[in-house]
Structure 1
Amino acid sequence: MGCFGFLKTVMFIFNGIIFLAGAVILAVGIWVKVDSGSMMGFLQNLNGAPEQLKQVLNVGYLLIALGAVLLLLGFLGCCGAVRESRCMLLTFFVIVLIVFIAEVAGAIVLVVFKGLIQNVINQVGVKVVESIRLEYGNNKDSTGLWNATMNTMKCCGFNNYTDFTGSPFVQNNKLYPDQCCNGGLCKDSNATAANIIGCYPALTKWIDGNSAVIIGVAFAIAILELAAMIVSMTLYCQIGRKHA
């Protein structure tokens, strides 16, 4: 097998995996959205299943979008290599390049405009707290989403437990959510809620603690994207010379 054949094989196998992964993710996303009634029944019949599991239905659209993109990339890569289609290979290259540029631009924005981004996050945080105080304990979807977030991250509110002050939940129950309580009842005057960190500080702390892993994963993804672009362009050029 020559270099050309080896590159075709690598391109086919790599993108075949991407295609299959995209097909599975797309199928799961469609099933979650189309068969939501059965999904809800399944979740409700699980012994000991937390109420927050119902929020899985909200990720259906995200799964559909992600699956469709991966499916398209895998198809273009596989067919472009097997059929020696320069058009498909070029389209594959352009899509990966756009994703790569967007990632680089995002990283630059995070570094250069870190202060501005922090201000935006603070402004968003104000709106989030307003939403909590209006909807938590009253809006089922919002309450379930926050409960799932707090249970997963072991946190309380966006900033801290005071975000729930004045919310329908606190007004009706005269206590703060269980996630803020260290296992006890957090009444308005109970100081134990102050020991639970907010979800935004918890996320920031987690990112700081895992920054090396995050950078490593991002670097690995960037290398794979560069390799995919190099292989696709190499095949593109060799196919052009072959049919010249």
Structure 2
Amino acid sequence: MGCFGFLKVMMFVFNGIIFLAGAAILGVGIWVKVDSGSILNFLGKIEDAPAELTQVLNVGYLLIAIGALLLVIGFLGCCGAIRESRCMLLMFFIIVLVVFIAEVAGAVVILVFRPLADKLFVKIGKAAVQNIRKDYGKNPDITGLWNTTMTTLQCCGFYNASDFMGSPYYVDHGQLYPPQCCPGLSSPCPTAADGVTSISGCFPKIKQLIDDNTVVIVAVALGIAALEICAMAVSMILYCKIKSSRG
């Protein structure tokens, strides 16, 4: 196998992975939009939620768009390499270049507007706590969603157990916290007055998880950027070799 054949195989394998990843992301995006019990639908039901939250709720559409785009990129890369189509390779290069530029621009925007994101999370937190104190223990959908979230993440409330104070559950159960706040206890979860410290809230836990994996996230982002650059370089090499061989 010569250099040209090796590049074709690598282009096919790499874009095959991209195609499969796109299919997975597309599936997740569709699931997010159709799953009535998802956290995004819960956020959409929060009363007095900040206007900026509407952008967050569009993440399902964003995942669908990203998945579809990756499917197109993977298809063009695979077919362009196997069929030796200069048109497909050129389209592949242009799309990946646009995605790369968009990723760089997005990273700059995130760094510049990070303080605004922190303020948005504060607003979301206030709205979420109000929602808990109004509907937890009364609305089956809200109660079930929070129970599932707390059990999965092993957390309690948005910030901490005090978020449940005044909620229908708290009032109806003799001022007790939900059992998810005190894992391992056979008896009902005591109140703060009993001197029992519950596990941390879901938001601090998610934030801590992100902070602990910042290096991994950055490494993955840099790895993706490097792969995109390599993919663009290989596509152009194949493009030029196909042109010269046919010339």
TM-score normalized with structure 2 length? 0.72
- The alignment-based identity, stated in percent, is 59
SS in 1 for 2:137: coil
1:78 equivalenced with 2:78 (yes/no): yes
What aligned pairs does 1:220-231 form with structure 2 within 5 A after superposition? 220-231=223-234
Q: CA deviation at 1:11?
A: 0.6
- Could you say which residue in structure 1 is the equivalent of 2:125? 125
Q: Cα RMSD over matched residues?
A: 3.5
The structure with the greater share of residues assigned to helix is: 1
3-state secondary structure, aligned to 1:186: coil
Aligned length: 225
Distance 2:165 2:219 in 1: 40
| Distance in 1, Cα, partners of 2:168 & 2:177 | 11
**SS at structure 1 position matched to 2:189:** coil
Between the aligned partners of 2:199 and 2:152, the Cα distance in structure 1 is: 13
Are 1:18 and 2:18 an aligned pair?
yes
Give 3-state SS (helix, strand or coil) of 1:84's partner. Answer: coil
Farther off after superposition, 148-157 or 130-139: 130-139
The answer to whether the 8 Å contact 1:25/1:67 transfers is yes
Do 2:164 and 2:177's aligned partners in 1 also have CA atoms closer than 8 Å? yes
1:178-199 CA distance string (max 9 Å, x none): 1212435234454556442111
Amino acid corresponding to residue 11 of structure 1 in structure 2: M
The CA distance in 2 between the partners of 1:238 and 1:20, in whole Å, is 28
The verdict on how the C-alpha distance between 1:213 and 1:81 changes in structure 2, with shifts beyond 3 A counting, is same
Residue 99 of structure 1, CA deviation: 3.1
1:97-176 alignment, distance < 5 Å: 97-174=97-174, 175-176=176-177
5+ long unaligned stretches in structure 1? 37-53
Closer, same or farther in 2 for the Cα pair 1:239/1:26, shift >3 Å? Answer: same
Quick check: 1:186–1:192 contact (8 Å CA) kept in 2? no
d(CA) in 2 for partners of 1:60 and 1:112? 24
Aligned match of 1:39: none
TM-score (normalised: structure 1): 0.73
Three-state SS of the structure 1 residue aligned to 2:177 is: coil
User: Is the contact made by 2:137 and 2:168 (CA closer than 8 Å) also made in structure 1?
Assistant: yes
Q: Does 1:94 align with 2:94?
A: yes
Q: Is the 8 A contact 2:150 2:180 kept in 1?
A: yes
